Every structure is written in structure tokens, then in C-alpha cells.
Amino acid sequence: MGACFPHLRCRRFRRLTVGSLLLSSFHAVSVASASAEENPLRPLAVAGRETFDAFAVPAGKRPGTSVLNKMQLSGTLRGDEFGLEGWSLHAQVFRFDGQSLSRRMADIQTADNIEAVPVTRLFEAYLSRVWGTRHRSLGIRVGLIDLNSQFDTNDTASLMLNSSHGIGPDLSRSGRNGPSIYPVTAAGSTVTWTATPAWTFRLGVFDGVAGSPGRPRAFFAERLNPADGLLAITQTDLSISKNAQVEAGAWTYTAERLGPNGGKAHDRGAYLSYQRRLNRLPHLSFWLRAGIADRQAQTVAAYLGGGLVQQGAVPGRPDDKIGMAIAHAIIGDGVAGTLKVPGAETNFELTYQAKISPHFVIQPDVSYVRRPAGEGHAPDSVGLGIRLVYATAYPLRMTASDPGDPTVPPDSSSPAPGND
């Protein structure tokens, strides 16, 4: 490359180019071995995803442009063919580069869900075991685990770019360094019990401080300090029908910490979500989520969000999706008073995902933040962006519009709306 764009450092652009070439080579191997997709339970499954976001902020705290890029590589080794039935080993590594969009918009809910500090990190590395059948099973995981892969998830809302629609800010903003979620996880263990096709029960216990706050750019960030205590979370999933699902969860930290006002605080909270695909309009789905936390301890004391997703809204484009969503975060009393920020922040988002091929999607996005609460005295902000996603996997089928990791063996049979 002879030159780079003015807002990109050459080294960062090279990383993006190298990442894209690696995924392109990976895809070529997948296509050449397409016949292997007929047997999706091979011992080793691998997947790669490249996500590139470019945003312009014409109005906000710091107008300008932000470019963000995340490359993920994951793999799962299953033990069935080695005489270890039900056992598997999973790992995921990601690389993030780019500039903060939230710094420009001054929002507290993180308008772009791939935002992080520039880092290459071992994100997940765990051993799992599943007993039983698809409809009745017991699964365990031990190691570095993304809490959000099993708790407070919403398949319908995953279309949106705002982080609050991936995991509620009442939970994601908890603790001294957040829970075990992107961009830094913690050592822990989870148990998933699918009692019936309708009921699934989950329990997770994690290190109380994710990663190592003093080493934000470490490849392996886990300090295991007994003083950090634990984060315990439980969730019950109810599949009312193949088109509707309810999730109810509660969480608590065992260690106290200093609250915004200098006193001791104890983080705890609960959440409830509902997603449904409408019977008379089978390509229209909606979701609602509410969460609460300790007003004196938490950055976000309560949250209410929801939205609609329509598939095939444009004639001749049956796989495209359009979505609109609202995310309303109520700021904790201590934070609002200490930092002089608004008592609530509301994000409005409109997005359209165009499926160019099974492996490539383009997604324009518009975000408007009313009363940003990330900084004091911040004006309303607007973000105009576009997301490009390229994804591939071997030997499993994987589409760029699927936000999940196809290499992870399922540990429950709870159907998600729209997936039947």
C-alpha cells in the first residue's frame, strides 16, 4: 500500500488487510472442502469473522469520524471420536483496532458493540461436557467463558449495533471492571440444565473482577485475586412456543466495593426479557427487556429497551433485515450526582442489513443519542455508520448475519424465535 486514509494509521490498515487475507484464505479452504459440511460433527471445527465499522458523527460532543475493526478466530475440538463422548475444548481469539465512537458521542451505553481498546486477546478458552439428549441435557463449562454467550442473550436484538441490545447496561456496567463479557472475560464455570423442551435453567460463577484492570492490553488478562470475590448469576429460560421465549435472571457480587459516593456498595440486580415472532406476520419479530440494579452502587440503575426486526421487507430481498430499537438507561444516583450527567440516556437506532452473499453482509446504521450520560454537559449526538461483515467456517455452515459462534456445541434445546 502506497498510502493510507487520513484518519487511519498505516499499521492499523495493514492489520485489517492481513486479517482480511487470512479470512479469505480460510474461506477458500472451506469452499474447497464443501463436502465436509455434510458431516458437521467432525472432531475440529473452526470459524473466522471480520467486522469493519465506519462512523461519521456530524453532531455530538466531538464531531468527526471513527473507524473500528474486529477480527475473530475460534475453534472447537470435540472428543467424541477420541472416546470422550460429550467432551469438547473451545477457544476464541480476537484482535481489535480503531478509535472510540463513544468518545465522540459521549454516550454511556456504547453505540458500537465491537468497541474496545486496541488489543489482541485470548477471549475464551474452556472445557465443556454435555450429558443427555437434545431435549433433556446437562452441560458444564469451565475456563475463560463469555457470560453473554449463555446469559442475557437475545437473538432478535442481535441485529442492532448498540451494546445495550446485546446485554443490558445494568449488568454490563456492573462490578469493578464489568462482568465476564467482551472485551475481557474472567475464569468461571457454568451449568446448564435443560429439564424439558420448554424449560432451561442456568447457573454461572465467575471471578468477581474480569481480566486485570492494570493490564488493559494483555493477551491473557486474568489475575485471580481472592479479594475480588465472585460474580454469581442465574437464569431461567421458558420457551412458550417455537415463536416466543422468556428469560429471567438475577446476579450478585460477593465482594463489596467503593461506591460513587465513597461508601461501600454491593452490586446486585435482576432482568427480564421477552422475544416473539408474530404468528400472522412470520417475518416480523419484536423484543422487550427490563433490568434493575442498586441505584447507589451502579452506573446504570435501571434499563428498558426493545425493538422490531422485519426480514424480507424489501421485495426481491428475502434475506435482508431492517430493525429499529430504543435503549433507555437510568443512571445511578451516585454517578449522576458526582459526574453531573443526566439522570437518563436514550438511544434510538435504525439499521438495515443487506445480505450480499452467505458470507458477506453490509449494514448501514443510524444512531441518535438523547441526553448522552457518558460525560457531563454533552449535547445530543448523531452517528451515521456502515458495518461490513465477512465470515466463514469449516466444516460447518456459517453466515455473516449470524452473530454467534457456530463452533460451540449447543448445551440446551431452547429454540430461538425465527430459527425453526
Grid coordinates representing 239 are 420457551
**Residue 212 forms part of a structural domain:** yes
Residue 329 domain-assigned (yes or no): yes
Residue-number span of the structural domain to which 257 is assigned: 10-394
Task: Look at the chain and report how many structural domains it folds into.
Answer: 1
Rounded to two decimals, the pTM is: 0.87
Alpha-carbon span 18 to 161, nearest angstrom: 25
Residue 66 lies in a domain: yes
Give the CA radius of gyration of the chain: 21
Element (H, E) at 143: strand 137-145
Kindly state the helix (H) or strand (E) to which residue 22 belongs, with its residue range.
helix 10-32
- Residue type, position 277, single letter: R
Instruction: Report the pLDDT value the prediction gives residue 309, as an integer from 0 to 100.
Output: 96
Q: Is residue 95 part of a domain?
A: yes
373 neighbors 107 (Cβ within 8 angstroms) = yes
φ, ψ of residue 84 in degrees (nearest 5): -110, 70
Residues 180 and 147: beta-carbon distance below 8 Å: yes
For 381, the grid coordinates are: 449526538
Residue 1 resides in a domain: no
248 occurs within a structural domain: yes
pLDDT of residue 404: 87
Q: Which residues contact 136 (CB under 8 A, 6 or more apart)?
A: 194, 195, 196
Look up the CATH number of the domain holding residue 339. 2.40.160.180
DSSP H helices, 33-116, are 101-105
| 401 in any annotated domain | no
Contact 275, 286 (CB under 8 A): yes
Is the peptide bond between 395 and the residue preceding it cis, with omega within 30 degrees of 0?
A: yes
Cell numbers 453473554 label which residue? 148
User: Has residue 249 been placed in a domain?
Assistant: yes
The amino acid present at 330, given as its one-letter code, is I
Q: Which residues of the chain have pLDDT under 70?
A: 1-41, 258-263, 337, 412-420
